[in-house]
A = this chain, B = another copy of it.
Amino acid sequence: MVATMDSAGLTALAEKTRTVQGSALRDMLALVMRPDLQSFALGLPAPELLPLADCRAAAAQVLAGDPEALQYHLPCESLKSHLRQLLATRGIDCTEKQIFLTTGAQQATHLVANFLLSPGQQVIMEEVTYEGLHLAIQPLNPEPLIVPTDPETGIDIDAVEEQLERGASPAFIYTITDGHNPLGRSLSVEARIRLVELARRFRTPIVEDDVFGFLNYDGPASPPMRSLDDEWVFYIGSFSKILAPSLRVGWIVVPAALQQALSSLKQASDLDITTLGHLTAAAYLDAGHLPAHLATIRSEYRRRRDAMVRALEANFPSAARWSTPSCGMFVWVELPGEVDTGELLRAAVESESVAFMPGDIFAIPGLPRSRNGMRLNFTHSRVEDIEEGIARLAKVLRKFLHRDFSC
């Protein structure tokens, strides 16, 4: 990789390069940019529903009067105030002093991981989970304590309890409460209560990723774990899925006493200051646009989710399994055990120009659990493209199964 640098003096550099794995997410982002591709790969909002005119008005207002909008400033207080009100609609009772603003949820995850996790320490995580968590913790060389997860019921809480009772001392337990990435599932109220009880009993923080909890399709989602505990739950949210990714607005809700430490970590990463994106989001919220926008995207995404599930029912082999997510952006499909979805992806892109995210992306390398899983996004594509794309994907899958069976 360091083609022009071959000296022993650069051992450290080369070593670093080896440990920095190319991000599959980024590679997929490059692939999905191919205009000829019908992609269900990424967790993208529908572009035609992005609130362009309202964001334009918000940015114009930010840049209309005070040049200080372009200056260095402390984190945006009015954005925190809006977030406090927004989080209250999810049952979260917090103060502005408990809200820490970040450059999207990935930075929130990265900062929390760097804050909680000492090098080599244990982390309890599901066998498949958000790929950005792997990226965030990898440089700290953690010992992952992998617990099973079920596409219907989620993280195996018995397994979590067993690990903790056996004396595990993890830096944190990571999970996604609603619209799990990649599984789509939401945790039951009982599961939320039990996890919080375990966190308290074993004095182990939970990192609760809730970037999908506002995308609820079958009535209100249950309150997140943060609504049950304000001490052991580090709550992560984002506007990337519900407003606009390029504004780069994420947040962490933590005890107020931890703000300064997080701020120092962010200061070292990219300065803990207000950005044009954060100011634009605050102005957008000032104008009161979010509730109507959320209603619009929930309604359309529900239609798309239903279309995808119908298309799977109509086209996929009966041996494939999936469930209907009540929140989020993804349907998780498990194919017959002999299918490697990484190989299927290559075939699907080559022969039918369809893409999805293979399960291995979300697993610790080497674990076989998700080899036959695929994550399908239903928010980015229109209903007719979902119907046609799933039919094409099923065509590849049938050939693929036939090939495998004929071997």
A367 within 8 A of B: no
Q: How far is the CB of A355 from chain B (nearest CB, A)?
A: 15
B-chain residues with CB within 8 Å of residue A272 when the two chains form the complex: 23, 26
A263 within 8 A of B: yes
A107 within 8 A of B: yes
Tell me the count of chain A residues lying within 8 A, CB to CB, of chain B. Answer: 97
In the bound assembly, the distance between CA atoms of A121 and B12 in angstroms comes to 9
Question: Would you call B22 and A132 a contact (CB within 8 A)?
Answer: no
Question: Would you call A52 and B70 a contact (CB within 8 A)?
Answer: yes
Question: Would you call B63 and A44 a contact (CB within 8 A)?
Answer: no
Q: How many copies does the complex hold?
A: 2
In the bound assembly, the distance between CA atoms of A138 and B73 in angstroms comes to 24
Give the residues from 102 to 131 in chain A that come closer than 8 angstroms, CB to CB, to chain B.
102-104, 106-107, 110, 114-119, 121
Give the residues from 157 to 172 in chain A that come closer than 8 angstroms, CB to CB, to chain B.
169, 171
Q: How far is the CB of A136 from chain B (nearest CB, A)?
A: 5
Question: Would you call B59 and A5 a contact (CB within 8 A)?
Answer: no
In the bound assembly, the distance between CA atoms of A271 and B136 in angstroms comes to 10
Question: Would you call B258 and A17 a contact (CB within 8 A)?
Answer: yes
In the bound assembly, the distance between CA atoms of A203 and B106 in angstroms comes to 35
Residue of B nearest to A54 (CB): B63
Known A-B contacts A25-B267, A67-B50, A68-B47; A118 and B15 likewise in contact (beta carbons under 8 Å): yes
B-chain residues with CB within 8 Å of residue A268 when the two chains form the complex: 23, 106, 110, 132, 135-136, 138-139
Q: How far is the CB of A66 from chain B (nearest CB, A)?
A: 8
> What DSSP secondary structure best describes chain A's contact surface?
helix
Question: Would you call A23 and B280 a contact (CB within 8 A)?
Answer: no
Question: Would you call B13 and A257 a contact (CB within 8 A)?
Answer: no
Known A-B contacts A169-B9, A261-B16; A56 and B64 likewise in contact (beta carbons under 8 Å): yes
B-chain residues with CB within 8 Å of residue A52 when the two chains form the complex: 63, 67, 69-70
Segment at the B interface, from A81-89, A240-248, A315-323, A344-352: A240-248
Question: Would you call A71 and B59 a contact (CB within 8 A)?
Answer: no
A30 within 8 A of B: yes
B-chain residues with CB within 8 Å of residue A73 when the two chains form the complex: 246
Question: Would you call A72 and B44 a contact (CB within 8 A)?
Answer: yes
Give the residues from 297 to 318 in chain A that come closer than 8 angstroms, CB to CB, to chain B.
none
A10 within 8 A of B: yes
Q: How far is the CB of A13 from chain B (nearest CB, A)?
A: 6
B-chain residues with CB within 8 Å of residue A148 when the two chains form the complex: none
Question: Would you call A261 and B60 a contact (CB within 8 A)?
Answer: no
B-chain residues with CB within 8 Å of residue A370 when the two chains form the complex: none
Residue of B nearest to A380 (CB): B71
B-chain residues with CB within 8 Å of residue A59 when the two chains form the complex: 56, 59-60, 63, 276
Q: How far is the CB of A256 from chain B (nearest CB, A)?
A: 9
Known A-B contacts A9-B169, A63-B56, A267-B23; A273 and B246 likewise in contact (beta carbons under 8 Å): yes
Known A-B contacts A5-B231, A26-B264, A118-B16; A70 and B245 likewise in contact (beta carbons under 8 Å): yes
Cβ-neighbour of A72 out of B72, B102, B139, B245 (below 8 A):
B245
28 contacts between A and B (CB under 8 A): A1-B260, A1-B261, A3-B255, A4-B231, A4-B255, A5-B255, A9-B169, A9-B202, A10-B203, A16-B114, A17-B115, A20-B265, A21-B264, A23-B267, A26-B267, A29-B74, A44-B72, A47-B70, A48-B67, A69-B246, A70-B246, A102-B270, A103-B270, A132-B267, A135-B267, A246-B276, A247-B276, A276-B277
